[in-house]
Amino acid sequence: MGNNRDEKRADLRKRLIDAAEEQIAKHGCASLKARAVTAQAGCALGALYNAFDDLDTLIMHVNSRTLSRLGETLQSARPGPEATAEDVMQALAAHYVEFACKNRLLWISLFEHRPPEGQDIPDWHRQEHAVLIMGIMAPLKRLRPDLNETDLALRARTTFAAVHGVVLLALQGRFVGVPLASLYQEVSALVSAMTRGAHLASEN
């Protein structure tokens, strides 16, 4: 009996996550409505709050799935063992751009969603965001062997933020954003500039 109840709850949670993911992919997380999610999942409105604490928690689970897919995408970006550090950085950036373009609203939800004031993001979800930084650490270490682990982690965050900012402004259609037709080229140029700068910094 207990296993059957657990299986039903797991199925309900999956259907709700699937429905919320589809809604976010179409309309963005800011427009997500509980009634639309439960209607698509084929359950009563109250069932959502039996499966998740609230709508924000459901969004976190959708974002968790998106982070997992993004992590797999970045992992597949790694070129062969003879690749230079810049080759690795370029591959990571290109795959990041591709994922963001193909999953625009789900990707934006990773950074747009904020829990209500006074509610902290759970540790399990914070830790999942490490996938955005981890892949940068190894090639960056090759470029900057002089940095200790603390400074290396900080520089990896800065490197990610630089690429992410260019992609975000472009996908949001901001006036200062680069045209989408030039996005891959401009991100590649940015990565080249950063890797050249890293080489020079390590030599000084």
The pTM score is 0.91
The mean-pLDDT minimum among 52-66, 68-82, 83-97, 149-163 falls in: 68-82
Counting the structural domains of the chain, the total is: 2
Do 77 and 25 share a structural domain? no
**Which residues span the domain enclosing 86?**
55-203
Q: Region 34-61: what's the mean pLDDT?
A: 95
What CATH number is associated with residue 32?
Answer: 1.10.10
Do 42 and 129 share a structural domain? no
- How high is the pLDDT of residue 149? 94
pLDDT greater than 50 at residue 1? no
Do 27 and 59 share a structural domain? no
Rounded alpha-carbon distances, angstroms, from residue 41 to 13, 27, 32, 61, 185: 9, 17, 14, 15, 41
Q: What percent of the chain lies above the pLDDT cut of 90?
A: 81
Label residue 124 by pLDDT band (50, 70, 90).
Answer: very high
Do 41 and 125 share a structural domain? no
